[in-house]
Structure 1
Amino acid sequence: QIKGEPNVILLDFEAFSTHKDEIKTKLWELYQVDSLNSNWDFEEPMLWSWCVGILLENIAQTLGDKAIVAHFHEWLAGITLLYLKMVNSNIKTIFTTHATMLGRSLASEGRDLYDLLDTINPEFEAKGVGVMDKFTTERAAAQNASIFTTVSEITGIEAEKILGRKPEVLVLNGLDVDMFPTIEETSIKHVANKEVVYEYLTYHFFPYYTFDLKQTLLFFIMGRYEFKNKGLDVTIKALRILNEQLQKENSKKTVCVFFFIPNAAHGIKTELLENKNMYRHIKQTVDLRSNDILKTIVQGAISQDEHVKDKVFTKEFLLDMKKDFLTFRRVGNPLIFSHNVENEDNDIIKQTLISHGLDNRPDDKVKAIIYPVYLTGNDGLLNLSLYETMSACHLGVFPSYYEPWGYTPLEAAAMGVSSITSDLSGFGRFIQEKLPAKNAGIFINKRYQKSDEEVVEDLAGLFHHYARLDHAERVQNKINAKNLSYLADWKHLIKRYVKAHNLALEK
């Protein structure tokens, strides 16, 4: 629910589809929007956006001379802006791009976007990646708006080169931090939800071998399945280095890394369900005897009974447990995927993990779990919501290559969770000059104008640094991360929107 309770108008534009070709012609003649080869994924928002323009112009005529500002986000709404200019409306317009269609497409294809920007031929590249219709719409909206804005410095640089206009205002993305738990509440949530994840690790890994959960750190990466854009490629390479470093040091630490990357999953792995059911059976067996065990221990301690151990764990109980433990045991390595997915062996995340020696062997200090479902709180395994899962973990990993803003490290900070972001993300560039000198809470992976080798080395260093922190240092990082989140509170950042609206009214 939005606190301001804004009014919303739902528009039925289906009947207007007969005007599709007429609209395309006008957009080409007036604004050089090239939609000749477009499909319904372009045509549907085009029709809706055009009809919104008709609606807004009628509203403006009804209101007479009253000053009106209309704010449009992304190319999908940009055609409304173009319609209003076509009819010489007195509505002042603001266009915000949260990313450029061309920039995201080039980055997704593995092109070095930031090296390309100084020499890029946008039309040539847009034709090459098949986004000519959306690119030309975005460009026309940016160039014809009263005020042009983007959501970050890095996207502003990109937009100026690709769309041909420098943004007048950066309207940074914020959070309502008051909606998130206090630092005291985050500590409570961390302890409670961490135990849920540790229980999951018990039945995921312990049938095969064990490690000390008290010495286990939980890292996580989450986002869309964009292998390069989200930094999954460099993350896995850096985790390989971390694994080797911890092995060489004979570290007591184990790092379990969750890849929360939604995929077309269809059901939990049968092997994992069997593990979970057997674990629950063992736990329930012990739980049924817990009162008797507690009573025997207390009475034995009071009476100083030297044989209390034999009375707590009777031969019958130990024999039953031994049978269950034998059933619980498995051979081989633990699963990498928690759920079934199509063509699992061809999954690029799994392939890259295995090729870098991260296949969950007993001697691996870094363990990997690909968890390819949305964190709804009812997935059948963790059963934690997204924010509950965040709060359980120690470190979020978001070293994105293409990230116009990047809400996730900010959300992690608001949950009192340390994270790594990059200086190619909007949030990373916003926060990097505001970090405390020690125990920053948010760490910056240096990616701007760096080679992949340099990026991986820097990221591995951040991993290793965090893995060596003691408990008190991790707590201080949590506190500092939480404090940094207040810098991106809407209470502060809304002023940028007000500035953009006022500038538009002055046009």
Structure 2
Amino acid sequence: MSSGIPDFLFEVSWEVCNKVGGINTVLKSKAALMNEHYRNYVLIGPYFAHNAALEFEEHQPPEYLRRAFQTVARDGIVCHYGTWQIKGEPDVILIDFSRFTPQKDKLKAQLWERYKIDSLGAAWDYEEPILFSAAVARLLHAAKLSARTVVHTHEWMTGATILFLHILGSPLRTVFTTHATMLGRAICGNGENLYEMLDHMDARKEAYKHGVQAKHLTEAAVAHAATVFTTVSEITGMEAEKILGRAPDVLVLNGLDIARFPTFEETSIKHLTCREQLREFLTYFFFPHYVFPLDHNLIFFLTGRFEFRNKGIDVTIEALGRLNELLKEQGGDRTVTCFLWVPMEHGGVKIELLENKSYYQHLKSYIQYNAEDILKKVLYDFLGQQDVTSETIFTKDFLSRMKRDLLHFKREGDPPLVTNYIPDEENNPIVKAIRQAGLRNRAEDRVKVILQPVYLDGNDGLIGLSYYDAIAGSHLGLFPSYYEPWGYTPLETAAMGVSALTTDLAGFGRFIEPHLDSEHPGIRILHRYGRKRADIIEEYAQHLLAFAQLSHEDRVQNKIAAKALSALCDWQSFIAYYLEAHKKALA
């Protein structure tokens, strides 16, 4: 253990044993390594009984915490100590602050008096994490920890712990990580051009304009109060310096536990099996209407929250429309199917698709039932040097039955754009954009688009693949976000041995670009920073066209490159950034 290692490290996040977003992945994937590097490493999160029941195992707390638990219990703060049932099984404190709620107005008043944080009109989505942060601060203060203790908080939701520690007069050293500024996310979510505004922005005025003043002022106060301030990427560091008024001391880049992902050989096998499952779905999705050669069809996908502009869904659809035109002009057999796996409210799978699936499975089952007889006839005809024809292989009854069943399988018109019933489909922004881009899933369209508004957990009723398996079966993942402080999805895609596209507005994209090989990049970078929309769309379409034109051998080389690039983001390397931040806090 180096002298820069704290005696105690407490890492505080709203996502400890409580999955909300990407921070949960950060915490889980590095937990085992944190345990290796720190003598006393404890995670602190909120106690929600339904979540705790899934992945938390309660134990008796050590003596120094037992006394602190008893002290804060008098304020209505109930602490649960145990282990998080993940790799590394880190020690965890989950805090039930429900009986601490009557203190909320007093806590908000303290923040106003000390930091001029205007939370007068703030609602529960602000008050709840403030109550939690205050409860954490009281617990840590009551524990009477050594001066070589570091408290590391994530996002404004738990960053306020640092403010309340100061109010209590605590000497503990602190680290604050913002994964995305509250104001930056609000501006982008409103469709405004954040990066064009940064140099001349009045952050306080913008916060009031967007109604996020309490959260923004809290975040800014924490950034200045922390011993060490960190962000997760270069692009977020630029944003934070302008919006919060402090440049990060350290960039704590987001890694993955690459050892938990399959080897390249394993991903190659998985690609074949999962691709066949995706192709089976495409068969009963499209073939009732028309057929096309699936062995010349590439599978692209975009997945993410339903943030039409922030996640780059808008530019993806426009670029796919342009790709459709380019492939039509060039001729040939190449087609592309792009899945948009974007979870949203839905009313289940459309009846016509369930019927298609049922008819398809019926046809498949009937062929499988007769497969042994068909195989024997083919074998005997070859052995007997007879001409092999459909008349010699198939009986009249078999052909008659198949023709009759195929009539039930066929449908008029074009396939749908959406797999499930969604509210007001015709006015859904994604559906409208698909139609405006000329993508109608017609027989003549070389690019097909399917919006599947579900979480991929293997229980969608159609594809039947988990998230990682669906990635494995695809050829290219599309992540052209406008606002993406880091971006785990392209990294996870690469770790699955699948090529990906990201942007220079994503933290991961900016990190990985210098490492790309020009001939077989594996990961492609769409340049969005400071560029006009038309130029972005054209570059995007050219990226897609270039990939569609790759030979099978070149696609394999890109898969190998993508897998190799993902290893650069292994926590085995990236954990050093956390060690540096905590060392700085003790300096």
TM interval, shorter chain, is over 0.9
* Larger displacement relative to structure 2 (149-158 or 298-307): 298-307
Match of 1:38 in 2: 122
Which structure 2 residues correspond to residues 347-366 of structure 1 after superposition, within 5 A?
347-366=428-447
Structure 2 counterpart SS, 1:88: coil
1:262 aligns with 2:262: no
TM-score (norm 2): 0.85
Preserved contact between residue 297 and residue 308 of structure 1 (Cα < 8 Å)? no
Match of 2:353 in 1: 272
Bigger relative contact order (CA 8 A; separation at least 6): 1
Preserved contact between residue 147 and residue 172 of structure 2 (Cα < 8 Å)? no
Match of 2:559 in 1: 478
Which structure 2 residues correspond to residues 430-441 of structure 1 after superposition, within 5 A?
430-441=511-522
* Equivalent position to 2:103, from 8, 13, 19: 19
* Equivalent position to 1:462, from 543, 559, 582: 543
Q: Gaps (5+ residues) in structure 1?
A: none
- 1:308 to partner: Cα distance: 5.6
Partner Cα distance (1:324, 1:5) in 2: 55
Preserved contact between residue 150 and residue 175 of structure 2 (Cα < 8 Å)? yes
Match of 1:384 in 2: 465
Root-mean-square deviation (CA, aligned residues, Å) is 0.9
Preserved contact between residue 486 and residue 506 of structure 2 (Cα < 8 Å)? yes
* Larger displacement relative to structure 2 (83-92 or 221-230): 83-92
- 1:446 to partner: Cα distance: 0.4
Match of 1:410 in 2: 491
Partner Cα distance (2:158, 2:88) in 1: 22
Preserved contact between residue 301 and residue 341 of structure 2 (Cα < 8 Å)? yes
Partner Cα distance (1:20, 1:404) in 2: 31
* Larger displacement relative to structure 2 (478-487 or 86-95): 86-95
Partner Cα distance (2:98, 2:500) in 1: 45
Deviations 1:419-446 (A, max 9, x none): 1000000000000011112111000000
Match of 1:292 in 2: 373
Q: Gaps (5+ residues) in structure 2?
A: 1-84
Partner Cα distance (2:484, 2:387) in 1: 64
Partner Cα distance (1:3, 1:313) in 2: 55
Identity %: 50
- Name the amino acid aligned to 2:270: K
Partner Cα distance (1:29, 1:306) in 2: 94
Structure 2 counterpart SS, 1:436: coil
Deviations 1:103-129 (A, max 9, x none): 011011111100100000111111111
Structure 1 counterpart SS, 2:347: strand
- 1:310 to partner: Cα distance: 1.6
Partner Cα distance (2:327, 2:518) in 1: 26
Preserved contact between residue 254 and residue 365 of structure 1 (Cα < 8 Å)? yes
Preserved contact between residue 300 and residue 308 of structure 1 (Cα < 8 Å)? no
Q: How many equivalent residue pairs? A: 503
- Name the amino acid aligned to 1:393: S
Match of 1:233 in 2: 314
1:302 aligns with 2:386: no
- Name the amino acid aligned to 2:451: I
Which structure 2 residues correspond to residues 119-130 of structure 1 after superposition, within 5 A?
119-130=200-211
Deviations 1:50-72 (A, max 9, x none): 0110001111x1x4x45100100
Preserved contact between residue 267 and residue 496 of structure 2 (Cα < 8 Å)? yes
Structure 2 counterpart SS, 1:389: helix
- 1:342 to partner: Cα distance: 1.1
Deviations 1:69-100 (A, max 9, x none): 01000011011110111122121000000000
Would you identify which runs of 4 or more consecutive aligned residues in structure 1 move more than 6 Å?
A: none
Deviations 1:170-190 (A, max 9, x none): 000000000000000000000
Structure 1 counterpart SS, 2:489: helix
Preserved contact between residue 378 and residue 388 of structure 2 (Cα < 8 Å)? no
1:81 aligns with 2:165: no
Match of 2:228 in 1: 147
Match of 2:285 in 1: 204
Match of 2:305 in 1: 224
